[in-house]
Amino acid sequence: MAAPEILLNVVFYVLAAAAIGGAVAVAASKNIVRSAFALLAVLFSAAALYAVMKADFIAAAQVLIYVGGILVLIIFAVMLTHRITDVKLSNESTPGPAAFCACLCLLFSLVVVILFTAKWPRDAGEVRVPADGNEVFLRQYQADGATGLAFGGSAFEGSVVLSLRLETPPKTVDYVKFIAVSGAEKKTVSVPFQKGVTKAELHDLPEGDWHWFAELSVPGEDKAVKVESSAGRDFAVYRGVTEPIAMALAGPYLFAFEVVSVLLLAALVGAAFLARKEVKE
Amino acid sequence: MANVTWPIVITGLPLLDGFLCIFAICFILINFIAVYAGVSTYAERKIAGHMQARVGPYRIWWHGFGVWIADALKLMIKEDIIAKDTDRLLFKLSPYVVFAGSFACWVALPFIPDWSPAHFNIGILYLLAVSSAVVIGILMAGWSSGSKWALFGAMRSAAQIVSYEVPIGITLLGMLLIYGTLDMQEISKAQEKGLPFGFMADTQGGLWSWGLNRYGPFTLIAFLIYYIGALAETNRTPFDIPEAESELVAGYHTEYSGMRFSFFFLSEYANMFVVSAIATTFFLGGWLPPFPSVHAAIASVVGGGALAALAYGYKKKGFDATIGFIVGSGLGVLYSAFTGPHGEIHPYGFLAPKDSLGAAIEGGFWFSSKCFALIFVMMWLRWTLPRYRVDQLMDLCWKKLTPLAFINLLVIGILETRPQWWHALVEWAKKGAS
Amino acid sequence: MIFTRHPLEHMLLLSAIIFCSGVYTILTRKNAVSILMGVELVLNAANINFVAFSQYTGHGGVHGNIFTIFVILLAAAEAAVALAIIIGMYQNFGKVDVDQADNMKE
């Protein structure tokens, strides 16, 4: 693995350790204020993990709403529901073995499901395109070359891997030229043909909708065989996840967005009413 | 980090180079913050002195300039007192949490054209988000001090900061409707062209293209609401109930002494710079100069001088001459926008070509000058206005600034999405006049 | 760069551990605010899952991210109302112990 991948792995494991440490401290601390500040560590680590997964808008929203809103509310509630004189607030718990065993069983079952039974689909599936009497299978991947990118999907970074597979090549194919087009932009990569899967990486693609096709050049023939999937957008490149979220919130999720706004208004009014100080006559 | 080439290649190993680059940039930034905060304390005391008809610090070095170094040394060698009733871990941790919240904002500011220490495409959202760490740190400090004055101060301060984030967010939202992007560098670049109300969108209008002139009085109101909210965010007068000596001793940092207290102090000044920097980027053009070309600079000086002389001749006072100069230079820039050379003169600065070191230095100079001007106004207000009571403060935020900010957002939204109404209005007015 | 060494499973394991810590907090704590903190842990674990599936596989599209945004918003609303109820409880009972808020029991 190259250095950036090592660094990203190290960052992931450090953040995971911080999140788990914080979660265990929330569950087991005897001081409720320490619990609340351990929750701060969990929320920040979760935000950093979203950033590692390239969901930058969600990371910022998490810190803004969870840390800046909910955690401040929780700390205020902790401070308002105790007398001021006890600094080391006790946080009693009933640590029965039943609860602990129940949680361990839950964790065990989740681990079994995650690691052993579930087959998480990675590949985006191939598109079969007829070319010159044979069938070519086209596939596209995200930047690492192994995580699939569905046709019509989005890449959150400017690097994409395109691949082509011929079942039985009819004649000897020399080179495969992968060409990606988006409006006025065009990127081309030429790769020598390999039996099985031929892959090429495209770097530094600017944002936009991209359509790609491959040209197989056969020695002895002038015209290259062009292989193209269905017309239209094959994938779109976005920097970060802000624009897809915005388009989805203004598109299919518009009604849900408005309903959540009304619900937040109701929560605001309800909370202000519930927490009012009764004026005793 | 994948396809990034580090600007400075020291060892050749990309991992180590990355760490060294990040460390070097953060080292430079922290030193800049420390020196800026120190000189800022000296400047505050000097400005306070001169505004109160006295000299302020005078004895150490030239006109008291060494006072901030002396203060810093004193804070560093003071005894570290931790009271008995405190929660020691949180007590020691909270200055660093508050400083981390402020410093994390500094790395995303657009100091120079086309480069930030950390360039996010969610720039302003990141800045608003990590300022929340400051609130948590303040609560941590107030609670772990073990004294009820500290706790009251911390809760009031946290409530004030969290309340004033609402009008700040709404005004920035209105400006984001105009710019269409969250990226701070793009926002600075978007203020290069265009005269108010969307007319002559290709003209380099200098200070008339800035954010606060975009839609006439409405963006100016947005700027004022933002600035008032920023004063409250940084606990400056007139919103310094949590730190006022006559009210709560010193609020959430009562029990802190020596180096720990200096971290809180540092964070307050760092926060002042951050909110000024956000105001500069959104409303005052970021690193753009107030005049986009040499022609505009000459016109602004000539216009300013003429109007200053007129005002002085009429009123015989220096203050009126200054106001005359400011108005005149603005009119000079506007005149140059209509009559001067158009097109790509120098896209970013009016002295140095794009992408050069000169453009970076010039951009950094304009950005810092605007930030320091806003900080000077903050210091000026501190010695001018009396303090708000805490209920008056909350009343101002929720009953006056927030509805005003919402109405402003609505109007800016209408102006931004329906420019044809305004152009039709102008056409109708022209037809009516002719 | 996205991982190449099965990181999706590791992210899901992490969220499973946080989820179980949250469930343990809800089950064992007596202080109402602590129970609310456990609920926040559970919601965060679910959010990490949603975003991981949306970003790591080619099928998700943006729907996982949208769901996460909505969960964050609804968690804010729910925390506000829950804390208002807890403050009301403190004003009426003098303490926020859930074991002792049993006025409606016979």
CATH for A156 = 2.60.40.1930
3-state class (DSSP) for residue A181: strand
| Per-residue tokens: C81 | 């109302």
Under a CB-based contact definition with an 8 Å cutoff, are residues B13 and A3 in contact? yes
- Range(s) of the domain holding residue A45: 3-86+249-275
C23 CB neighbours in chain A (<8 A) are 102-103, 106
Q: Confirm or reject contact between C2 and chain A (CB < 8 A).
A: yes
Give the span between the Cα atoms of B42 and B71, in whole angstroms.
10
- Mean pLDDT, all residues of chain A: 82
3-state secondary structure A111-176: HHHHHHHCCCCCCCCCEEEEECCEEEEEEEECCCCCCECCCCEEECCCCEEEEEEECCCCCCCCEE
Query: Do A147 and C44 lie within an 8 Å CB cutoff?
Result: no
**What is the C-alpha separation between B36 and B269, in angstroms, rounded?**
8
Query: Is the Cβ–Cβ distance between C26 and A35 less than 8 Å?
Result: no
Query: B288: buried, middle or exposed (CB in 10 Å: 19+, 13-18, 0-12)?
Result: buried
- pLDDT, mean of residues C69-83: 95
Contact C21, C44 (CB under 8 A): no
Subunit contact A72:B139, Cβ cutoff 8 A: yes
Q: Give pLDDT, residue B380.
A: 92
Share of chain B above pLDDT 70, in %: 91
Mean pLDDT calculated for residue range B89-97: 91
Q: What percent of chain A has pLDDT over 90?
A: 30
How far is B30 from B270, CA to CA, in rounded Å?
A: 10
B30-81: pLDDT as tens digits: 999 999 999 999 999 999 999 999 988 888 888 888 899 998 899 889 888 8
The Cα B211–Cα C69 span in angstroms is: 30
Pair A54, A158 in one domain: no
Residue B248 pLDDT = 54
In tens, the pLDDT along A242-256 reads: 888 998 999 999 999
- Touching A: which chains, 3+ CB pairs < 8 A? B, C
C104: DSSP letter: T
Q: Which of B1, B125, B143 sits opposite A60 (nearest CB)?
A: B125
> Which residues of chain A are within 8 Å of residue B130 when distances are taken between CB atoms?
63
pLDDT score for C59? 65
pLDDT confidence band for A94 (50 / 70 / 90): confident
Instruction: Kindly state whether residue A81 falls inside one of the protein's structural domains.
Output: yes
Contact A47, A108 (CB under 8 A): no
When the pLDDT of each residue in chain B is averaged and rounded to a whole number, the result is 85
Total tally of structural domains belonging to chain A: 2
Which of A72, A198, A235, B275 lies closest to A190, judged by CA? A198
**What is this structure's pTM?**
0.89
CB of A6 less than 8 A from some CB of C: no
Number of Cβ atoms within 10 Å of the Cβ of B339: 10
Average pLDDT, stretch B269-286? 94
Which residues in chain A have Cβ-Cβ distances shorter than 8 Å to C4?
Answer: 1, 5, 144-146
Beta-carbon separation of B151 and A84 below 8 A: yes
Which pLDDT band, with edges at 50, 70 and 90, does B353 fall under?
Answer: low
Query: What are the beta bridge partners of residue A202?
Result: A160
Window 176-205 of A: residues touching C by CB (8 A cutoff) are: none
Judged on CB neighbours under 10 Å (0-12, 13-18, 19+), C71 is: middle
Contact A63 B151 (CB under 8 A): no
Kindly provide the b/e burial profile for residues A25-61, where b requires at least 16 CB atoms within 10 angstroms of the residue's own CB. Answer: bbbbbebbbbbbbbbbbbbbbbbbbbbbbbbbbbbbb
Count A/B contacts: CB-CB distance under 8 Å: 100
Q: Hey, what's the torsion of the CAs at B343, B344, B349, B352, to 10 degrees?
A: -140
Considering only residues 148 to 167 of chain B, which have any Cβ-Cβ distance to chain A shorter than 8 Å? 148, 151, 155, 158, 162, 165
A residues 47..66 contacting B (CB < 8 A): 47, 56-57, 59-61, 63-64
Question: A145-159, A263-277, B94-108, B385-399: which has the minimum mean pLDDT?
Answer: A145-159
Handedness of CA A238, A242, A244, A247 (dihedral sign): negative
* C63 burial type by CB count under 10 A (0-12 exposed, 13-18 middle, 19+ buried): middle
Pick from A69, A84, A242: CB nearest B148: A84
User: Between chains, do C2 and A144 touch, taking CB under 8 Å as contact?
Assistant: yes
Question: Token pair for residue B23?
Answer: 């460390």
Q: Give how far the C-alpha of residue A228 lies from the chain's centroid of Cα atoms, to the nearest Å.
A: 29
pLDDT (average), residues A238-267: 91
Q: Does A221 reside within a domain? A: yes
Cis? peptide before B292, omega within 30° of 0: no
Mean pLDDT of chain C: 87
Residues of chain A by 3-state class (helix, strand, coil), percent to 5: 45, 25, 35
CB-CB contact of A149 with C58 (8 Å): yes
Mutant choice from B82, B88, B119, B143 vs A, greatest count of A C-beta within 10 A: B143
Assigned domain for A258 exists: yes
End-to-end CA, chain B:
62
Where do we find the tokens 């060409």? A179
Cβ–Cβ gap A142/C12 under 8 Å:
no
Please tell me the predicted confidence (pLDDT) of residue A145.
67
Work out the average pLDDT over A253-275.
93
The span from the CA of C102 to the CA of C92, in Å, is 12
pLDDT value, residue B345: 54
Instruction: Report d(CA B69, CA B58) in Å as an integer.
Output: 14
Q: Which chain A residues have a beta carbon less than 8 Å from that of C73?
A: 65, 260, 264
CB atoms within 10 A of CB A112: 11
Q: What pLDDT score does B401 carry?
A: 95
Average pLDDT, integer, range A167-191: 77
CB contact under 8 A, A150 and C58: yes
Q: Which of A89, A147, A237, A268 to mutate to test the interface with C (most CBs of C within 10 A)?
A: A147
A186 and A210: one domain? Answer: yes
Which residue in B123, B34, C62, B166 sits closest to A69, CA to CA? B166
Helix (H) / strand (E) containing A235: strand A235-237
On whether any CB of chain B is under 8 Å from the CB of A68, the answer is yes
- From chain C, pick out residues whose CB is under 8 angstroms from the CB of A40: none
Alpha-carbon distance C31 to B253, whole Å? Answer: 29
- For B14, list phi and psi in degrees, rounded to 5: -60, -35
CB pairs under 8 A between A and C: 265
Radius of gyration for the alpha carbons in chain B, expressed in angstroms and rounded:
24
Does pLDDT of B342 surpass 70? no
Q: And the tokens for B73?
A: 């040394």
pLDDT confidence bin for A169, thresholds 50/70/90: low
Q: Which of B237, B286, B279, B287 is nearest to B127 (CA)?
A: B279
For range A217-230, the mean pLDDT: 73
Do A141 and A232 share a domain, yes or no? yes
Give tens-digit pLDDT for A17-54.
999 999 999 998 888 889 999 999 999 999 999 998 88
* Nearest in space to B285 (alpha carbons), one of B215, B211, B337: B211
- Could you tell me the CATH number of the domain that includes residue A44? 1.20.120.1200
From the number of C-beta atoms within 10 Å of its C-beta (0-12, 13-18, 19+), residue B123 rates as buried
Q: ipTM of this predicted complex?
A: 0.91
Q: What percent of chain A has pLDDT over 70?
A: 85
| Residue A137 within a domain | yes
Q: Is residue A70 part of a domain?
A: yes
Q: How confident is the model at residue A270 (pLDDT cuts 50, 70, 90)?
A: very high
The distance from CA A3 to its chain's CA centroid, rounded to whole angstroms, is 22
Question: Residue A3, CB half-sphere, CA atoms under 13 Å: how many?
Answer: 12
Nearest to A40 by CA among B127, B234, C85, B97: B97
Going by C-beta distance under 8 Å and a sequence separation of 6 or more, which residues neighbour residue B378? B231, B234, B236, B272, B276
The residue ranking higher by pLDDT, B392 or B354, is B392
φ and ψ of A190, to 5 deg? -105, 130
CB atoms within 10 A of CB B202: 10
Question: Is A182 part of any domain?
Answer: yes
pLDDT value of position B1? 35
CA of B18 vs chain A CAs: smallest distance (Å): 9
pLDDT band for position B195 (cuts 50, 70, 90): confident
- Quick check: B258 and B76 in contact, CB under 8 A? yes
Please name the member of A36, A43, A147 whose beta carbon is closest to the beta carbon of C57: A147
Chain B residue with CA closest to A57: the answer is: B122
Mean pLDDT of A221-244: 76
Q: Which among B283, B153, B232 has a CA at the least distance from the CA of B402?
A: B232
Q: Is the pLDDT of residue B404 over 50?
A: yes
Token pair for residue B127?
């800045």
The string of DSSP letters for B244-286 reads -HHHHTTGGGTT--THHHHHHHHHHHHHHHHHHHHHHHHHS-T
Q: B229 falls in which pLDDT band (50, 70, 90)?
A: very high
pLDDT value at position C1?
43
Q: Is residue A179 included in any domain, yes or no? A: yes
Any idea where the domains of chain B sit in the sequence? 1-77, 82-292+345-433
Mean pLDDT of the region B105-122: 88
- What is the mean pLDDT of the segment spanning B358-367? 86
Higher-pLDDT residue of C33 and A228 is C33
DSSP states of A206-232: PSEEEEEEEEEE-TT-SSPEEEE-SSS
Say whether residue C100 is in contact with chain A using an 8 A CB cutoff.
no
Residues of A in contact with B129 (CB under 8 A): 47, 59-61, 63-64, 67-68
Whether residue C14 and residue A16 make contact (CB cut-off 8 A), yes or no, is yes
Distance CA A189, CA A191 (A): 6
Comparing A194-198, A248-252, B27-31, B361-365, which segment has the lowest mean pLDDT?
A194-198
Q: Are residues A232 and A270 in the same domain?
A: no
Mean pLDDT of A112-130: 76
